[in-house]
Structure formats: C-alpha cells, structure tokens
C-alpha cells in the first residue's frame, strides 16, 4: 500500500466485528456519507481567512530546507502543526477510515483525532472501530466525547474510555446547534461548564474544549479559561456545517430549522483571533482549513495546530491512503513555502508574523480589542 514519497505500508487492518446496525451507528454511517460526498459545506459564510493578509518578506535570509515546522504538543513532537481532526467511529467502515488515517498520522508525524466515543460507551461491542494504536503506536491521539454525555458520567467512566483507546488527551465537544437539529439530539445543556471544570481537575489527561463547526466566542473563551480549561479547538464556521449535515438527515420541521441555521456560527479566523488574548496554552484552528496558507494564517492569529477533517475524508474516499497522504503533504509544503515568504524560520517566528485584517473580519475583532 503506497503512502507517497516511496513509503510502502504493509499494515493490515484488524477488522471490527460485524454487529447489527444500532441507531447511533446508522447516524455515524450517514455522517460519513454526507461529509464525504454530500453538499454540506457552509453556503454563504466563510472562514474569513481571506480577510487576513500576511506581509511578504523579500529578504527572508532563510534556507527553505532548514525551515522547522515541528511543534511539541502534550509531550509529543509533531513534524508539522497538523491534526487529522475528529470525524468518525462506531461502524466497520469507520474502523477502516480511522485505521488508515491514524497510520498516515504515525508515518507523517501528525496528530490524529477520534470521532465521538459515545458510540463505544453505549455499545461496547463497537469499541474496535476506535482502536487505532496498532496503526499509530506513537502518534498523538485525541479521544473525543460530547460534553453533555460526559456530564452524565463519572470521571472514572470518562477515563476508562480514554484508557481503552490509549488516547493522549480528551476533546470534550460542544455542539448545541447540531444537537438541536438532530431528531433525537440533546436538549438540555446545563452543567456543561461544571463538567469541564471537574474533568480538567480530575482527569490525568489534558482536556480540550472543542466546538463542532460553530466556533467559540470571546465570552465563551473567558468562561472556559475561568474554570481551568487551557486547551481549546475553535472548530469555527466556514468548513463543514454540522447543522447542515443534520438538516440533510432530518425530515419536515427539523429540516426547515436546519436550513435556517445552516450558516450559523463564528468564522474560524475570527474565533482563533478572539481566543488568542485569553491565555490558553493551546488553540486548535479547525473549521474550513483547506491549504497551507490558511494554516500559516491560523498560527499567525494565535493557533498552535490546525485541524483538517472533511478534505482528508474526501481525499481518502476518492484516493484511499495515497490520496489522503498527498493532500496532507501538499498542505505541509504550502505551509513551508508561506513561512519562507514571510521570513519565519520556525513556528514561533510565524506566530510573531505581522498580519493585516480587512472587513468583515475586522468587525468581528474590534469589539474584543484584538
């Protein structure tokens, strides 16, 4: 199996056992199909990275081949600031996708995020679709659980889910807009902030507060920081609309509601910039990242790592491991070229790079004093 640049993989997937399709597994299968092949991107709203301009440096005084794109995160060093972001789990197809993408993360030195582990908590027989350590023994792997679900679980139960998959950290996802469109979604979002505070304090793992396509506001960031959260994933608007995904699955009234709120959210660039002054240790810029210039802009705005989900899934759907690898290699190369052109020898220098904003991004930032 070719992984690009002449790297050959003899990895053999340990097949997830076949089980009757549960409601949650059926939902996960729908999510894969819609994300890979459906028209579920934001329709009018963009990430607003197009409103960020990096200043060209005609005298970079750098050796392109010596530019350092590596970053340390949660005790592991990534070759590039890229996260193959959380997507799926809970089905045999999801198991194959997770294994393939985790293998890429292992070989290329990226981070990898699991989809929501709620499926394996409610249906332990589905755990195999989340087990990626045989494919990625040393990669940085992020576990994933809905904050509402975590609020109904003990700390020991949450820790058990992470231990089962040998995760390095936990993403607690916040997705009220998505859930409210889902026919059987959550409706009570009380206690989420307290749950984050409890798990940050009690888990022996880093905890990342992660939105799901609608972004984090400055005010939400302040509240998260106040309860001890030090890592956030903005997962902003402009990429995949998970409200749109649920609208496509819904019927009648929920579908109409989903159509209305399809473009709801804070653009990714605005969300990253609003988080930057708040003192977080790590900001992940996820949501609509499609090329290396956007990765560079995200880091200049204050992010440490950029997460990429749907483009990787689509590349894998059409080209398998080789297709997904080529996409990520292209993004990494584009990042390196951008760093040369702004005169940044490493990511620390890139984070200090001057940037210029234009409308409408400027209006998102002015009230927060960014």
Q: For position 13, what pLDDT does the model report?
A: 35
Q: Is residue 13 part of a domain?
A: no
Q: Is residue 22 part of a domain?
A: no
* Residue 298, domain CATH: 3.20.20.70
How many domains is the chain built from? 1
Q: For the chain, which residues score pLDDT lower than 70?
A: 1-38, 369
Collapsing DSSP to helix, strand or coil, 58 comes out as coil
Q: Is residue 50 part of a domain?
A: yes
* Helix pair 192-202, 155-165: axis angle to 10 deg: 60
Number of Cβ atoms within 10 Å of the Cβ of 205: 18
- Write out pLDDT tens, residues 16-59: 444 455 666 565 566 666 666 668 899 999 999 999 999 999 99
Per-residue tokens: 38: 């459906």
Q: Is residue 17 part of a domain?
A: no
Per-residue tokens: 245: 């995904």
Place of tokens 């992984």: 3
Dist CA 305 CA 217 (whole Å): 19
Q: Is the dihedral of CA 278, 266, 82, 293 positive or negative?
A: negative
Nearby residues of 61 by Cβ (< 8 Å), 6 or more positions away: 343
User: Which residue range(s) make up the domain with 223?
Assistant: 34-368
List C-alpha distances in Å: 195 to 25, 144, 198, 217, 237.
Answer: 26, 14, 5, 19, 25
Q: Is residue 16 part of a domain?
A: no
Q: Is residue 251 part of a domain?
A: yes
Q: Is residue 19 part of a domain?
A: no
Predicted TM-score of the model (pTM): 0.91
Q: Is residue 277 part of a domain?
A: yes
Q: For position 156, what pLDDT does the model report?
A: 98
């Amino acid at each position: 199996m070719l992984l690009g640049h002449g790297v050959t993989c003899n990895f053999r997937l340990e097949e997830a056992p076949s089980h009757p399709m549960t409601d949650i597994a059926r939902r996960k299968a729908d999510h894969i199909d819609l994300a890979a092949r459906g028209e579920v991107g934001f329709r009018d709203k963009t990430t607003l990275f197009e409103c960020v301009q990096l200043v060209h440096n005609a005298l970079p005084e750098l050796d392109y081949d010596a530019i350092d794109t590596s970053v340390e995160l949660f005790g592991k060093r990534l070759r590039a600031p890229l996260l193959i972001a959380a997507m799926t789990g809970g089905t045999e197809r999801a198991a194959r996708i997770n294994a393939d993408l985790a293998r890429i993360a292992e070989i290329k030195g990226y981070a990898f995020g699991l989809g929501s582990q709620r499926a394996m908590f409610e249906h332990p027989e589905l755990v195999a679709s989340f087990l990626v350590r045989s494919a990625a023994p040393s990669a940085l792997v992020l576990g994933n659980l809905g904050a509402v679900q975590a609020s109904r679980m003990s700390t020991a139960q949450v820790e058990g889910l992470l231990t089962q998959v040998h995760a390095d950290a936990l993403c607690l996802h916040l997705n009220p807009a998505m859930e409210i469109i889902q026919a059987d979604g959550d409706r009570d979002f009380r206690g989420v902030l307290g749950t984050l505070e409890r798990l940050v304090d009690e888990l022996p793992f880093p905890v990342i507060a992660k939105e799901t396509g609608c972004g984090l506001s400055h005010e939400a960031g302040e509240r998260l920081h106040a309860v001890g959260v030090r890592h956030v994933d903005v997962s902003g608007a402009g990429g995949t609309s998970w409200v749109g995904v649920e609208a496509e699955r819904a019927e009648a009234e929920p579908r109409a509601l989903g159509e209305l709120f399809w473009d709801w959210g804070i653009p990714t660039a605005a969300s990253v910039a609003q988080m930057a002054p708040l003192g977080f240790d790590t900001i992940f810029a996820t949501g609509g990242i499609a090329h290396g210039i956007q990765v560079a802009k995200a880091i200049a705005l204050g992010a440490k790592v950029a997460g990429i989900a749907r483009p990787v899934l689509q590349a894998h759907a059409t080209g398998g491991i080789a297709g997904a690898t080529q996409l990520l290699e292209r993004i990494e190369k584009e990042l390196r070229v951008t760093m040369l052109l702004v005169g940044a020898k490493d990511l620390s220098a890139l984070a200090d790079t001057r940037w210029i904003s234009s409308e409408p991004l400027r209006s998102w930032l002015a009230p927060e004093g960014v």
